[in-house]
Amino acid sequence: MGAPLKLFLVAGEPSGDRLGGALLAGFTDAGVDVIARGVGGPDMAAQGMASLFPYEELAVMGIAEVLPKYRQLKRRIAETAQAAIASGADALITIDSPDFGLRVAKQVKAARPQTKTIHYVAPSVWAWRPGRAAKMAKVVDHVLALLPFEPPYMEAAGMTCDFVGHPVVAEPVASVDEAAAFRAAHSFAGGETLILVLPGSRRSEVSRLAPVFGEALSGVNARLVLPTLPHIRQTVAELTQGWSNPPLIVDATDLPTKRAAFVAADVALAASGTVSLELAASNTPMVIAYDFSWITRALVKRAIRVDTVTLVNLVSETRTVPEFLAENCRPDLIRAGLLDVLDDPSSQTAAMEETMVRLGKGGDAPGLRAAQSVLRAIS
């Protein structure tokens, strides 16, 4: 047997940690021995990778949110790059969080040009800021894309790129019996409307969205369940205690409970992001809502190139999932959208099924495909 493959991985938020965990599991499935170091969360830790520091420190989004933490983030970039260089890794794999990861890649590439740099999750240049691909190509050799239409954008900028699918298509989904058991365990009657509330995984976005979500839900006759992560649970509890209809808060790291809640729900009100794919995998109809700080909102509004940001809409090439963004992220509009979906929940079924097929459902696990793509890139 040859020497183990040495990898340095960097993930800065829960969705990236899941991708990293699936990727590391993919190497195991491929029979490849890997020594992994870097920055990540519980999914990557479960595959044997100890994090250089708590990855929650990197979970910030938007210009106004990043500025107060700039000095700390700059220190972490240098610390992470130095650790990657010292590791002698065959490849640096930055996962999502491009504002952090690509700065790390730049320093690593400058100091150790022979290190293969791979970025997992193509930047959404089809949505806004198309120049990001060319900028990224200066420090990234290869891209692992989650969406089937992304490789041409990356290749045009000078990088190699493989569509590897999304790990969500390979993740377990709760059974109908498990969903019924969840309802029974928490005293939700079988015919009672249950709404899943998902205001995000970052403290900044939860603080911004929870008051809007709470007001939107105040006029809806339903029970609420809100899965959240341990590092923001206290924030969520404080923000929701004054709701007229306080939610049941459950631990999102308890995956069987979370998956059962997804299937048990009649509809979800969710922040924009990867969670829409988790909901589609569970066949849970959804309404998407999101807002930024006013500075970020103004910049995004000028730069946006698509008429929807919801991944289910984009991948399925439909517009069946209602979304309320920026100035439209208003309680009255969100409430009306929720009621419309509850009136006809099956309107999203075909789009959700098509999304899963296009993302690779029924084929090799995306984590294995990603691992195979990495192996090709460094061979």
**Is pLDDT above 80 for 307?**
no
* Rounded CA separation 104/109 (Å): 9
Helix (H, G, I), strand (E, B) or coil at 123: coil
CB 231 within 8 A of CB 56: yes
Say which residue, 64 or 165, is predicted with more confidence.
165
How much is the mean pLDDT over the chain? 92
Kindly report, residue by residue over 240-269, the tens digit of the pLDDT: 999 999 999 999 999 999 999 999 999 999
Q: Which of 86, 54, 84, 95 is nearest to 72 (CA)?
A: 54
Does this model's pTM top 0.95? My answer is no
Kindly report, residue by residue over 198-223, the tens digit of the pLDDT: 999 888 899 999 999 999 999 899 99
**Is pLDDT above 60 for 13?**
yes
- Measure the CA angle with vertex 30, ends 28 and 32; round to 5°: 65
pLDDT at site 63: 46
Mean pLDDT of 93-99: 91
> For residue 97, which phi and psi values (nearest 5 degrees)?
35, 60
Burial of 197 from C-beta contacts in 10 A (0-12 / 13-18 / 19+): buried
Q: With DSSP H G I counted as helix, E B as strand and the rest as coil, what are the percentages for the chain, rounded to 5?
A: 50, 15, 35
Mean pLDDT of 136-150: 95
**Is pLDDT above 90 for 191?**
no
Locus of tokens 């794919």: 277
Mean pLDDT of 359-374: 95
Residue 270 structure tokens: 């969710």
Domains in the chain (CATH in brackets) are 5-166+362-378 (3.40.50.2000), 176-358 (3.40.50.2000)
* Rounded CA separation 108/112 (Å): 6
**Is pLDDT above 90 for 99?**
no
Mean pLDDT of 24-40: 96
- 71 Cβ contact partners less than 8 Å away, ≥ 6 residues apart: none
In the chain, count H helices and then E strands: 17, 12
Q: Which of 174, 359, 201 is nearest to 272 (CA)?
A: 201
Looking at 270-274, 295-299, 327-331, which range is the least confident one?
A: 295-299
**Is pLDDT above 50 for 333?**
yes
